[in-house]
């Protein structure tokens, strides 16, 4: 495999510090020490001459992981670059996840997933991606497959501080970092964290920021989590912060909203099955997770009214309308198929106006 690549099979657990240019690699006792080329000293090859200044500036830290308890795969990424998630993170239900960065080749994401879907293990898929890549020395790619095996490559000429760290079912990779401790801190943060896969991925981003993160600062972030099975387009969470002063903090806010709307989606399905008594509590939980969302408040109120709690439901709908009067307009347009309690709520509102 060109440059620096490492592989961890499912069930193994190895992590080491990332490497700054020209420095020794801090490794476990069972691994040999190594060095990485210093791009400030090494002469560029003809391949490097074809790297444009536009793509060279993609400094990034990312993580890809598998959760054996849920069967979910996912990843998270941050960069001082606009819309990093659109280039770097790729995942497919039941197949795996790929992060591609540094002098990023976005095609390594979907092509890597195609190789995994065709039966390749993470090491084989990674080797296939890099084998014909003339710019492998400036690429950085992390792969996790369906079984949780990980493989990672940090090209020898990635901009310092650049390196990677791996754990059980997880790989973190970073370049252009303030400190060489970022990847190892991400793996440690991921492994210490509780909660579901999305929570643990967010903990890894927090850990990276705690070590200084991207040397240039902050701009964009993304998170993706896919279910254990489903079509290629399906995702549990697919969130992006394109341009923000605190992209990791904003990503956490979006994840909270996504969880609220996930609950509301489940409630919608229950309502469609005429199970309003079960849907109501889910709508309430959704509204509680996102108290700033008058949309969730409105639908929670309609569900409560349909479930028989007319007083609470009407109060919730009134609060939503007070925040945004357009909800009253929408209420008048809803058929019984969309809001079985709509007509009753309208009558109550008309009587009190």
Report the pLDDT value the prediction gives residue 217, as an integer from 0 to 100: 76
**Res 316 pLDDT > 90:** yes
Say if residue 30 is in the same domain as residue 161: yes
> Is 281 exposed, middle or buried (CB count within 10 Å of its CB: 0-12, 13-18, 19+)?
middle
- Please report whether residue 237 resides in a domain: yes
Mean pLDDT of the chain: 85
CB 322 within 8 A of CB 340: no
DSSP state of 165: E
Say if residue 83 is in the same domain as residue 214: yes
Looking at residue 196, which CATH number applies to its domain? 3.60.20.10
- Please report whether residue 317 resides in a domain: yes
> Is 145 exposed, middle or buried (CB count within 10 Å of its CB: 0-12, 13-18, 19+)?
buried
Tens-digit pLDDT profile for residues 128-187: 999 999 999 999 999 999 999 999 999 999 989 999 999 999 999 999 898 999 999 999
| Cα→Cα distances 30→20, 26, 164, 172, 322, Å | 21, 11, 17, 20, 65
**Res 193 pLDDT > 50:** yes
- Confidence grade of residue 58 (pLDDT, cut at 50, 70, 90): low
**Res 22 pLDDT > 50:** no
- Considering 49-53, 80-84, 247-251, 277-281, the range whose residues carry the highest mean pLDDT is 247-251
Q: What angle do CA 91, 231, 240 make, to 5 degrees?
A: 40
Please compute the mean of the pLDDT values over residues 316-344 and round it to a whole number. Answer: 94
Say if residue 170 is in the same domain as residue 306: no
Tens-digit pLDDT profile for residues 125-145: 999 999 999 999 999 999 999
Please compute the mean of the pLDDT values over residues 43-58 and round it to a whole number. Answer: 45
Q: Which of 245, 274, 289 is the last residue of a domain?
A: 245
Looking at residue 329, which CATH number applies to its domain? 1.25.40.10
The whole domain housing 281 covers 259-352
The residue assigned the tokens 């001459």 is: 49
- Please report whether residue 153 resides in a domain: yes
- Please report whether residue 252 resides in a domain: no
**Res 224 pLDDT > 60:** yes
Return all residues near 222 (Cβ < 8 A) that are at least 6 apart: 76, 77, 84, 85, 86, 88, 89, 239, 240, 241, 251
Report the pLDDT value the prediction gives residue 17, as an integer from 0 to 100: 43
- Confidence grade of residue 276 (pLDDT, cut at 50, 70, 90): confident
Q: Which of 245, 277, 300 is the last residue of a domain?
A: 245
The two structure tokens encoding residue 240: 């992006």
Please compute the mean of the pLDDT values over residues 195-211 and round it to a whole number. Answer: 96
The two structure tokens encoding residue 79: 């960069």
**Res 63 pLDDT > 80:** yes
Say if residue 224 is in the same domain as residue 265: no
CB 284 within 8 A of CB 298: no
Q: Round to whole Å and give the CA distance between 207 and 189.
A: 6
- Please report whether residue 36 resides in a domain: yes
What would the DSSP string read from start to end of 246-307?
SHHHHHHHHHHHHHHHHHHHHHHHHHHTT-HHHHHHHHHHHHHH-TT-HHHHHHHHHHHHHT
3-state secondary structure of 161: coil
**Res 44 pLDDT > 60:** no
DSSP helix, strand, coil percent of the chain (3-state; round to 5):
40, 20, 40
The two structure tokens encoding residue 184: 């190892």
- Confidence grade of residue 92 (pLDDT, cut at 50, 70, 90): very high
- Please report whether residue 254 resides in a domain: no
């Amino acid at each position: 495999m060109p440059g620096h690549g490492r592989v961890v099979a499912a069930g193994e657990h190895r992590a080491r510090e990332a490497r700054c240019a020209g420095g020794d690699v801090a490794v476990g006792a069972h691994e040999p020490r190594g060095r990485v080329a210093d791009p400030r000293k090494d002469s560029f090859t003809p391949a490097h001459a074809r790297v444009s200044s536009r793509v060279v500036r993609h400094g990034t830290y990312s993580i890809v992981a598998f959760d054996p308890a849920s069967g979910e795969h996912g990843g998270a990424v941050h960069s001082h670059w606009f819309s990093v998630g659109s280039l770097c993170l790729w995942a497919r239900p039941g197949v795996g996840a790929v992060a591609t960065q540094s002098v990023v080749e976005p095609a390594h994401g979907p092509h890597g997933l195609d190789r995994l879907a065709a039966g390749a293990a993470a090491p084989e898929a990674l080797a296939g991606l890099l084998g014909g890549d003339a710019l492998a020395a400036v690429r950085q790619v992390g792969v996790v497959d369906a079984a949780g095996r990980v493989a990672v490559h940090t090209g020898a000429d990635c901009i310092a501080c650049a390196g990677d760290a791996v754990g059980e079912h997880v790989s973190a990779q970073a370049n252009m970092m303030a400190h060489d401790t970022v990847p190892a801190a991400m793996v440690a943060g991921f492994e210490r964290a509780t909660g579901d896969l999305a929570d643990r991925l967010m903990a890894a981003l927090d850990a990276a920021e705690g070590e200084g993160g991207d040397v240039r600062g902050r701009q964009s972030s993304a998170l993706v989590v896919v279910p254990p099975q489903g079509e290629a387009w399906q995702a549990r969470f697919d969130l992006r912060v394109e341009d923000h002063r605190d992209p990791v903090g904003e990503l956490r806010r979006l994840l909270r909203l996504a969880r609220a709307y996930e609950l509301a989606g489940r409630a919608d399905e229950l309502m469609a099955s005429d199970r309003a008594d079960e849907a109501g509590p889910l709508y309430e939980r959704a509204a509680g997770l996102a108290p700033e969302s008058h949309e969730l408040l409105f639908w929670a109120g309609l569900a409560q009214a349909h479930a028989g709690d007319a007083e609470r439901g009407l109060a919730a709908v009134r609060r939503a309308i007070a925040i945004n009067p357009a909800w009253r307009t929408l209420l008048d347009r809803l058929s019984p198929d969309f809001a079985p309690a709509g007509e009753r709520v309208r009558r109550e509102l008309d009587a009190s106006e």
